[in-house]
Amino acid sequence: MNLALDRARLHSEIEMLATFSDAEAPAVTRIVFTPTDLKARAWLHERCKAAGLSVRQDAIGNTFARWSGSDPGAPVVGTGSHIDAIPNAGKYDGVVGVLGALEAIRALQQSGFRPQHPIELLLFTSEEPTRFGIGCLGSRLLSGTLSAEAAGKLTDSDGASVEQVRLAAGFSGELAAVKLTSGYYKAFVELHIEQGPILEGAHIALGVVTHIAAPASFRIFIEGSGGHAGGVLMPDRRDALCAAAELILAIENAARNSGAIDTVATIGLCEVFPGAVNSIPSRVRLSVDIRDTDLKRRDALIHMMEVACRRISEKRQVSIQTQLLNADSPADCAPEIVEALTQSCVKYGLSFLPVVSRAYHDSLFMARIAPVAMLFIPCRNGYSHRPDEFASPEDIARGTLVLAETLAALSA
Ligand code: GLV
Ligand code: MN
Ligand code: MN
């Protein structure tokens, strides 16, 4: 099999997809079910159809583009990722796993390879938690990790529910029908940028993911007492933002002192009410994102956060409520797919390293219903979720080549 990628086409498609954005270039913002997201999806459908793939969408907008195998009833070999992008993001997160997979399929088609198992490119809906507060909405539903009822009721910051928004975006049918039957997949492989600095720092071509870390996220509501910035004296204050500041530092401190470099905690959102220079903050809403490769350590940090909430609430006489959004378990990648990826790297003489994914991915949830593995491409300085995120065309081509080879091995 002689695999010839069209690098220029892949590069120009990545550039093209980045133009579907609600932020000024080089930043990309593409929030799920916005008109921009829908236009990007329509463009992608056309690219898939042009490659001869048959496209179907489920009720949440997960999109499957299928290359039929010689045994159409055989379990599917899946690949893919997401194209939604957080505010002020870059152009590679998720996109490389979608457009790279499309190029891998086209290269296989052109080489004359014919799969026995169907190969499907899967575009997941809302890997990013931006709109509905919870990441991996599509893959949670596909894997049955989130019930249709709970998913339908999630709301965005305007109070619109998933149910309303997806219907308005043109995705009909029952959310309950999104869940895939067990045995649907033979294997699922996701190509992604590393979103960390290890591969680049070690001058290694590719990362073969063996484990995906366990994420948890919360909303925290703090309520104190507002008032005039001049009139209320310091001993009488119950300032919600000062309580939030203390809590943020307590969480940071607990993460720094967990004893393991793999523990991370981020407070990425802080909304202050009423938000006036001369008014004491009476209410604050925080988001907290906690991750670890070790479930026990992750949960110990959550416990420390809860203890800090009680301590600060008492000390500062404010109310602090935590709302759990998700606390997911880590996933192990399937040894047989890790081996197939490894063999493909060896075949092309490419250096590789077994790595842990500290970011979460749809593969974390697909691992509940399918054997999965992931392949990482280096990205400059490990930057991701920022406009200067960058992966070189050469690195993307290497990842795409290994993906193609692996899809061939798994689907033969
Ligand atoms: C995915 O985007 C993550 O936050 O890990
Ligand atoms: Mn992301
Ligand atoms: Mn991603």
CA 110, CA 8: separation in Å to the nearest integer?
16
Predicted pLDDT of residue 396: 98
Query: Which class for 292: exposed (0-12), middle (13-18), buried (19 or more C-beta within 10 A)?
Result: buried
Element (H, E) at 56: strand 54-57
CA 64, CA 243: separation in Å to the nearest integer?
47
Contact 194, 379 (CB under 8 A): yes
CA-closest residue to ligand 1 atom 2: 128
Tokens of 215: 């994420």
Residues with CB under 6 A from ligand 1: 128, 135, 359-360
Residues flanking ion ligand 2, Cβ below 5 Å = 93
CA-closest residue to ligand 1 atom 5: 359
Predicted pLDDT of residue 131: 97
Q: Which residues of the chain have pLDDT under 70?
A: none
**Per-residue CA distances from 222 to 78, 116, 267, 283 (Å):** 44, 57, 14, 6
The contacts of residue 60 (CB under 8 Å, 6+ apart) are: 125, 126, 137, 138, 141, 151, 162, 166, 171, 175, 178
Note the pLDDT tens digit of each residue in 147-166. Answer: 999 999 999 999 999 999 99
Predicted pLDDT of residue 1: 82
Prediction pTM value: 0.92
